Structure 1
Amino acid sequence: MQSVHHSNAANRLDRLPVSRFHQLTLVAVSFAYFFEFADINSFATTAPRLITLWGVTVSQIAYVTSLSFVGMFLGSVAAGGVADRWGRKKALTWTTLSFGVFSFASVFSWDLVSLGVFRVLTSAGLSAMTVVAVIYVSELFPAAVRGKYQAYAIVIGICGTPVTNLIASAVVPLSDWTWRLVYLWGSLGILFVLFARHLQESPRWYESRGRYAEADAVLGHIEARIIAEKGPLPEPAPPVEPSPPAEAPLRLLLQKKYLLPTALLTVLWVTQTIGFFGYSSWAPTLLAKEGFGVEQSIFYVALTTLGAPLGSYLASLVTDRFERKWCLVAFGTVIALCGLFYGLSFNPVLIVVFGFLVNLFERGYTALGYAYSPELFDTRGRSLGTGVSYGLGRLSNAAGPLIIAGLYNSTGYQSVFFFIAGTWILGAVVLAVLGPRTKRVAAPARGGEVDPVKTA
């Protein structure tokens, strides 16, 4: 047993072989992701119906979408604090339950205002859950396969998007009330409670709070399960003395070691958010406004999202093999090009083909970003830095829908897609110039500090 003054959590976790413990954790996180992705585009898939049913305008859709991203920002920032204060496991459970409950409330909305309020609250839970899940996987899986399993969780979870879009394309046109079933479907994330009791708290979190005995107990339990399944384990590397446990106030991010990665990741998530949701949130509505039927527009978008799971799987193949920074740059550039062709095509086959490619590479980009983001911080700054940068990205899209609606109303459909492609190119250029490499960095960072990728 390790000393009560140090549990050596990072090295003990990193030398574990992938086992049933990791697989169960993956399934649980993937389930949460599935219903997060199932629910995140619910408003987009029902908005074309509400245009005819409630007389909703494109500008009103923009305002609801914008406010949803304010909710995402608040959820992301709150998630970092909750995960730091109460633990990764509890935070993951609470945030997943929160978006499920508010999605269920959306079933009973009576006008656009009530639906908008419920969507803002749902969005806060969705974004908070994502931040916590990224941190949880990053801290429990061995460093050598961490990126791969972040991507695997997205591969499974992202299936929620095409499944939901196909369900929406089938049920929304049936009658004046069946659009509500889309929100009922999204609320099934509540069933995450069935997984929660089988999960373990992050030993790295316990260690960061100075609760070394509890960290050691959890590690011992995990190791005993893996020894029974896989046989004896190798000795872990010697521990590095931990920093004294301390709170992580918001001003911590003003320190140079946290400010630079937070700023970089903010650019990454701002461009990803505006770029991705520009496509996914607006495609059904804009296609419908350009003369395609509501059923056609929802169905076309549903077909394009079938590329999403393949994109996450592609990320799982490259994330631990190549430098993540350059994978992100390459994926972002391809998304910009395919998105332009998607927006400039009015042939249904080309819309589906290029939309499929946009979804494929965008979901791969997101999976890579989820693996890359927490690696830029040590344990103390990980929740806060990841949550704030991700939250600022989501907050940026409070303006994104208004910009898109303004472009559409003033200069037309095609200008929207030039704007979206430009955001992807900007993100790729900033990452190429400023993004640090994280693939298996072993040397000490400048100033004698040990690189967080290997030690946090």
Structure 2
Amino acid sequence: MSSTDNNNSVDVQDFIDRQPVAPFQWLILLLCFLVTALDGLDTAAVGFIAPALREEWGLSPAQLNPVLGAALLGLMLGAFAAGPLADRLGRKTVLLWSVLFFGGWSVAAAFAGNLETLTVLRFLTGLGLGGAMPNAITLTSEYCPQRRRSLMVTSMFCGFTLGSALGGVVAAHLVPLHGWRSVLLLGGGLPLLLVPVLIWWLPESVRFLVLRKAQQRERVSTILRRIGPLPEGWNGRFDLGDAGVAGAKPVSPVRLILRGHLSRGTLLLWSAFFMSLLIIYMMTNWLPLLIKDTGLSLSQAALISAMFQIGGTLGAVSLGASMDRLDPWRVLTLAYLCGAGFLWAIGQYYQSFYPLVLCVAGMGFCISGTQVGANALASGFYPTASRATGVAWAHGVGRIGSITGTLGGGVMLSLGLGFNDIFSLLMAPALIAAGAMFLMGRRYRAAPAAPALVEAPAQP
């Protein structure tokens, strides 16, 4: 479809697809990358300072559980709230408030005088963290050409993994010198410093502006000219191929993702997000302990655990590139199946160091990498009118999985399950996620209205 169909109005997505990726779009990706990096740093911060907290306040592991889980609960609720707000108020608006929120409460948490106060402040921090991530994904995806969307979104999301890893390095240097509070101060101060940069440099989603604020024609045209020249014969109007008429009567974005053509895909996406984040958070929280209990040294356990994150980062970029070239549902289905195979192999070869390193890296590549790929899939599946809600609610359901995985690991250990038993059980959620992606592909790949399977009409 031409970018100047419909009486010479400009179709925004078609216009972006026809242009080479401009420096302006790379700037948006970089700014959202920084948001996700700080999100990752702040999300992981309590885990890194937990030993110092336990020592200073004389806490038992059971007493630490509430503060470790408070942010996860906040993340879940923040994601559910932020999506519909972003579809009403704008992606940039909610993203800015989310960054300001988690930065400010993280700084406040650095001055907590007891465990109860710290738990409440970490919950409030989690609300902001839950709103930032899905809106960074949505905003990035809406400035990406379709031919490179998956790679660009997954590359941006790698900021979360790198930020989490940076948190460990920072904590290792700051805690011995300045105490655990310094890590929270840094984790809150950096987002607050980033907010003015985002206000000045980060644009609102041009697709959102066309959908909700059609009267701001000059603002839209100014943004698009930073991507490429507007076509000759343009009549001053903009169009969205996925969203009907700009400025039409708003429909609840929650209704859009839970009814009609999108409803089955939404439930399948939720299944995949829940299952993969269950595995990821169980691995993140319990893998070092499980490995150490096999008789390997603490340094070996740390190295093997790091391979999970390294594999996940490589998987995110590789699978994102593959999704742009091949059928994305087949790519994700195959990756989840391979992840189940690596989980089985970990249970078989856990007593051998080098095979275990390779299997954990492979599991991270497939499971963690596929979860990042699912973010890109979700951002392309929903139409503009409900994209932020669709991505955010998938994250919210995924956070329920992360809580389940965190608690489930402790339950399985308390039941005395062995290494092989635990990883055999973890194959089930990986296979369920693979089935969800397979069924989603069957349902939407061959839909009669091909464009609508990704950009479904936002009709009431």
Give the gaps of 5 or more residues in structure 1.
Answer: none
- Equivalent in the alignment of 1:28: 31
Verify: 1:267 aligned to 2:268, yes or no: no
Asked if the contact 2:37–2:162 (Cα under 8 Å) also holds between the matched residues in 1, the reply is: yes
3-state SS in 1 of match to 2:438 = helix
Q: Which SS does the other structure have where 1:259 is aligned?
A: helix
The reply to whether residue 246 of structure 1 matches residue 247 of structure 2 is no
CA shift, 1:127, in A, is 2.1
**Structure 2 counterpart of 1:217:** 218
1:189 aligns with 191
In the alignment, what sits opposite 1:386? Answer: 391
Give the partner amino acid of 2:84: G
Matched letter for residue 385 of structure 2: R
Q: 3-state SS of the aligned residue for 1:373?
A: helix
Q: Which residue of 2 aligns with 1:432?
A: 438
- 1:331 has 2:335 as partner: yes
Instruction: Tell me the distance in 1 between the aligned counterparts of 2:120 and 2:331.
Output: 37
Q: Residue 303 and residue 328 in structure 1: after superposition, are their counterparts in 2 closer, same or farther (change >3 A)? A: closer
- What is aligned with 2:322? 318
Q: CA deviation at 1:255?
A: 1.6
Separation in 1 of the partners of 2:324 and 2:233? 24
Alpha-carbon distance change, 328 to 450 in structure 1, aligned in 2, over 3 angstroms: closer
- Please state how far the C-alpha of 1:404 moved relative to its aligned partner: 1.8
Counterpart pick for 1:423 among 429, 436, 440: 429
Matched position secondary structure for 1:318: helix
Structure 2 unaligned segments of length 5 or more: list them: none
- Identity over aligned pairs, percent: 24
- Partners of 1:138 and 1:235 in 2: CA distance: 28
Q: In the TM superposition, what is the alpha-carbon distance from 1:92 to its structure 2 partner?
A: 1.6
1:371 equivalenced with 2:376 (yes/no)? yes
Give the drift of 1:89. 1.2
Whether the 8 Å contact between 2:70 and 2:126 is mirrored in structure 1 is: no
Question: Paired residue for 2:12?
Answer: 9
> Aligned letter for 2:193?
L
With 343-352 and 243-252 compared, the bigger mean Cα shift is at: 343-352
Q: Does the CA contact (< 8 Å) of 1:329 and 1:431 recur in 2?
A: yes
Deviates most, 261-270 or 286-295: 286-295
Deviation for aligned residue 1:331: 2.0
| Structure 2 equivalent of residue 113 of structure 1 | 116
Q: Name the SS of the counterpart of 1:213 in structure 2.
A: coil
Partners of 2:182 and 2:292 in 1: how far apart?
Answer: 21
- Of residues 122, 126, 151, the one that matches 1:123 is 126
Counting only pairs closer than 5 Å after superposition, residues 133-172 of structure 1 correspond to structure 2 as 133-172=136-175
The alpha carbon displacement at 1:332 in A equals 1.9
Encode CA deviations 1:215-258: one digit per residue, 9 max, x unaligned: x323321333344xxx7768899875527231315344442223
Per-residue displacement from partner, 1:279-310 (whole Å, max 9, x unpaired)?
11333455567777877755653454333432
**Conservation of the 8 A alpha-carbon contact between 1:342 and 1:354:** yes
The answer to whether the 8 Å contact 1:253/1:259 transfers is yes
Task: Give the AA of the match of 2:47.
Answer: A
Query: Aligned in 2, Cα 1:60/1:335: closer, same or farther, shift over 3 Å?
Result: farther
Distance 2:161 2:38 in 1: 9
Q: Deviations over 1:31-84 (max 9, x none)?
A: 111112222222333334545554544444544444433212211111112212
CA contact (8 A) 1:14 1:143 kept: yes
Q: Is the 8 A contact 1:109 1:115 kept in 2?
A: yes
| 1:149 Cα deviation after fit | 0.9
The alpha carbon displacement at 1:168 in A equals: 3.4
Per-residue CA shift, 1:4-54, capped at 9, x if unaligned? 997633333332321111111111011111112222222333334545554
2:409 equivalent to 1:407: no
TM-score (norm 2): 0.83
The 1:342/1:168 distance shift into structure 2, 3 A limit, reads farther
Contact 1:208 1:245 in 2 (8 A): no
Is the CA contact 1:306–1:356 (under 8 Å) kept in the aligned structure 2? yes
SS in 2 for 1:242: coil
* Counterparts in 2 of 1:452 and 1:38: CA distance versus 1, 3 Å: same
User: What is residue 211 of structure 2 aligned with on the other side?
Assistant: 208
CA contact (8 A) 2:79 2:393 kept: yes
Match of 1:280 among 259, 279, 284: 284
- Structure-2 separation of matches of 1:291 and 1:113: 36
Q: Calculate the TM-score normalised by the size of structure 1.
A: 0.84
1:364 is displaced (CA, Å) by 2.1
Backbone CA RMSD of aligned residues: 3.5
